[in-house]
């Protein structure tokens, strides 16, 4: 029941409109259902309005699929009958899978796939000429793995990833392509002082010594 899903009494829901339960984070426009003026003849079925965000009585968002069907009220007027299907957990699981597919497991940065998707979206935009990409790698990283072990190598990579994430301009994104290969993507290089300035910032981050403790 919708009352159980949203934490309202039935009497409270009856006094509300569909717009009253739309959450501020909802990506749609207007209410959850078409207006009664757009109702087709009774018996027709409206299509699902996928992934709308409704609000519980405590303000918590609930992601729902909303399936609507036109009908007639007891008074003879046109109404919509709606079925709300809670897909919050499915959507959260899908988002987790997508995150895992586009982010590096060790550092949490974008991985190669995430980088390629980001770059594709930026280069396809109108201001693609402002996009800059810096490729970076670590000198003698193999020595760290060979002499201290891969756990130590991972610690170095994680620390450098943290510094890149915190040290590059907020508009930029860092990614890890492989073992010691990183990239920094900037959507508007002019906005960060130009390519030379961005290169100075990134090289300064990577040149900083990593403590051995």
Burial 63-82 (b: 16+ CB within 10 A, else e): bbbbbbebeeeeeeebbbeb
Return the axis-axis angle of helices 195-207 and 150-167, rounded to nearest 10°: 140
Residues near 64 by beta carbon (within 8 Å), at least 6 away in sequence: 5, 51, 52, 53, 54, 84, 85, 86, 87, 88
H or E segment and range at residue 181: strand 181-186
20: DSSP letter? G
Annotated active-site residue 154? The verdict is: no
Of 20, 26, 166, 180, the catalytic one is 180
Strand order of the β-sheet with 181-186 is 132-137, 181-186, 173-176
| Residues linked to residue 159 through DSSP beta bridges, in sequence order | none
Where in the sequence numbering do the catalytic residues fall?
A: 180
């Amino acid at each position: 029941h919708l009352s159980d899903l949203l934490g309202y009494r039935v009497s409270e829901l009856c006094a509300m409109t569909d717009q009253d339960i739309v959450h501020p984070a909802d990506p749609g426009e207007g209410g959850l259902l078409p207006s009664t003026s757009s109702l087709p003849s009774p018996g027709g079925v409206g299509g699902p309005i996928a992934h709308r965000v409704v609000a519980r009585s405590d303000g918590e968002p609930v992601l729902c699929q909303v399936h609507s069907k036109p009908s007639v009220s007891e008074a003879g007027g046109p109404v919509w009958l709606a079925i709300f299907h809670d897909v919050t957990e499915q959507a959260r699981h899908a988002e987790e899978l997508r995150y895992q597919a586009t982010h590096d497991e060790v550092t949490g940065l974008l991985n190669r796939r995430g980088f390629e998707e980001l770059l594709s979206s930026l280069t396809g935009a109108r201001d693609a000429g402002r996009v800059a990409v810096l490729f970076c790698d670590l000198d003698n990283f193999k020595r760290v793995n060979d002499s201290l072990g891969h756990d130590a190598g991972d610690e170095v990579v994680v620390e450098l990833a943290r510094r890149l994430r915190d040290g590059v301009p907020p508009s930029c994104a860092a990614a890890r392509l492989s073992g010691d290969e990183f990239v920094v993507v900037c959507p508007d290089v002019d906005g960060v002082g130009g390519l030379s300035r961005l290169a100075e910032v990134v090289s300064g981050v990577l040149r900083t010594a990593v403590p051995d403790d």
